[in-house]
């Protein structure tokens, strides 16, 4: 038998001079594609409600939201105030603190949310009284929350009032 070899087709070689411009064109196209996908300048977010000054947040956001939430639960004669007043239980302190004070049922039910500082993230306290009595117990309020938001503040307030069985019977 004879040795037969199959002829190989001639290899096409790209001259070095031609390869560089083709690679440069590919690199340029890839760079343009990356630029098209690059993130555009981010728009500045509006500051969160909770970043407002303390008094503005309470009066402009918290009080209206709380009024609306309690109205949905049937509280119609709610009177909410935000004021700096003496500690609600005189035996526990005599300094003035910012407080949200709510009354309804012709003043028969009262609750107070006391802020230890002008900051919604600072420690807060809750006390309440029924049938026109003076508050006698002060409880910590929202102590496990790291970041306080408007929704959380309203939700915890409603939850705490419901714990008194003032909003719905269990």
Q: Are 64 and 82 in contact (CB under 8 A)?
A: no
Is the predicted pLDDT of residue 18 greater than 60, yes or no?
no
* CA 96 – CA 91 distance, rounded (Å): 14
**Cα(3)–Cα(105) distance, rounded to whole angstroms?**
112
Q: What SS3 state is found at 164?
A: coil
More confident residue, 68 or 2: 68
Q: What is the DSSP letter of 80?
A: E
**Residue that wins the pLDDT comparison between 123 and 90:** 123
Report, as an integer, the average pLDDT of 117-131. 93
* Nearest one of 97, 99, 122, 119 to 111, comparing CA atoms: 99
| pLDDT at residue 16 greater than cutoff 80 | no
What pLDDT band is residue 1 in, cutting at 50, 70 and 90? low
Cα–chain center distance at 141? 17
Separation CA 93–CA 136 (nearest Å): 13
| pTM score above 0.85 | no
* Dist CA 146 CA 164 (whole Å): 25
For residue 148, pLDDT beyond 60: yes
CA dihedral for 110, 93, 50, 58, sign (positive or negative): positive
Say which residue the tokens 């630029």 belong to: 35
Among candidates 117, 166, 165, 147, which has minimal Cα distance to 48?
Answer: 147
What pLDDT is stored for residue 89 in this prediction? 79
- pLDDT grade for 72, boundaries at 50, 70 and 90: very high
pLDDT at 62 over 70: yes
Is it the case that residue 111 has pLDDT exceeding 60?
A: yes
pLDDT of residue 98: 95
């Amino acid at each position: 038998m004879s040795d037969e070899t199959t002829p190989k087709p001639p290899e096409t070689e790209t001259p070095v001079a031609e390869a560089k411009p083709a690679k440069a064109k590919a690199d340029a196209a890839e760079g343009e594609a990356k630029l098209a996908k690059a993130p555009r300048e981010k728009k500045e977010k509006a500051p969160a409600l909770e970043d407002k000054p303390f008094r503005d947040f309470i009066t402009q956001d918290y009080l209206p939201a709380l009024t609306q939430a309690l109205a949905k639960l049937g509280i119609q004669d709610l009177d909410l105030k935000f004021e700096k007043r003496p500690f609600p239980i005189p035996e526990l302190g005599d300094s003035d603190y910012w407080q949200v004070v709510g009354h309804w049922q012709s003043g028969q039910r009262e609750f107070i949310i006391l802020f230890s500082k002008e900051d919604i993230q600072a420690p807060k306290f809750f006390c309440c009284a029924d049938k026109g009595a003076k508050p006698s117990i002060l409880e910590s309020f929202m102590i496990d929350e790291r970041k306080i938001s408007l929704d959380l503040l309203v939700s915890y307030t409603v939850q705490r009032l419901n714990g008194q069985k003032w909003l719905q019977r269990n």
